[in-house]
A and B are shown apart, each in its own frame.
Chain A
Amino acid sequence: MRTKLKSRKELEELQKKLHRKLDTGKTRISICNGTACRPYGSNPVAESFKSEIAKQGLEDKVDFKVTGCHGFCEKGPIAIIEPGNIFYQKIKVDDVPEIIQKSVLNKEVISKLLFKEQSTGKEITAQNELPFYKNQTRIILGNNLLIDPTEIEDYIATGGYAALAKALFELQPDKLIGIVKQSGLRGRGGAGFSTGTKWESCRKAHGDIKYVIVNADEGDPGAYANEGLLTGNPHSVLEGLIIGAYAIGAHQGFIYVRNEYPLALKNMTIAMEQAEKHGLLGDNILGSGFDFHVRINRGGGAFVCGESTALMASLEGKVGEPRAKYIHTVERGLWDRPSNLNNVETWANIPLIVNNGPEWFSKIGSPGNSGTKIFSLTGKVNNTGLVEVPMGIKLRDIIFSIGGGIRGNKKFKAVQTGGPSGGCLPEKLLDSPVDFDELTKAGSMMGSGGMIVMDEDNCMVDIARYFLTFLEEESCGKCVPCREGIKRMRQVLNDITEGKGRESDIELLGEISVHLKESSLCQLGSSAPNPVLTTIQYFRSEYESHIKNKKCPAGVCKALIQFSIIDEKCPGCGMCVKTCPSNAITFMGKKKPVILDQSKCIKCRTCYDICRMGAVSIE
Chain B
Amino acid sequence: MTDPVSRPTFYEGEILPAADLIATVDYPRNQMARHSRYVHRWGIAAGLDFVGKPASSVGGKNYKVVTVNAGIAFDGTGKEIVVPDAVQLNPTDFLSTVSPDTNQPLLWYPFFLVGLDQPAPPSSNLTGACNSSQPTRTQEKYNIVYGNPGEELNLDQQQGVANIADGPDDGTTNPWRVLLGFVQWSADPTVQQFTDVTDFNPTTGIGRRYVGVNAAEVVSGRGSLVLETHPANFSGQNPILALQIQEAPNDGSMVFGKLNPDGSVNPVLTVSSNGNVTATGQISGAVTPGSMQVQSGIAFDGMLLPLPTGINPADVAAGKVTVHTHLSVHYEGVSPAGLLLALPVECRADTSTRRIHCRVIDITAGPPFVNILPAWCDYLVIVAVPASTGSGS
Indicate whether A and B interact.
no
- Listed in ascending order, the chain A residues whose CB lies under 8 Å from chain B are none
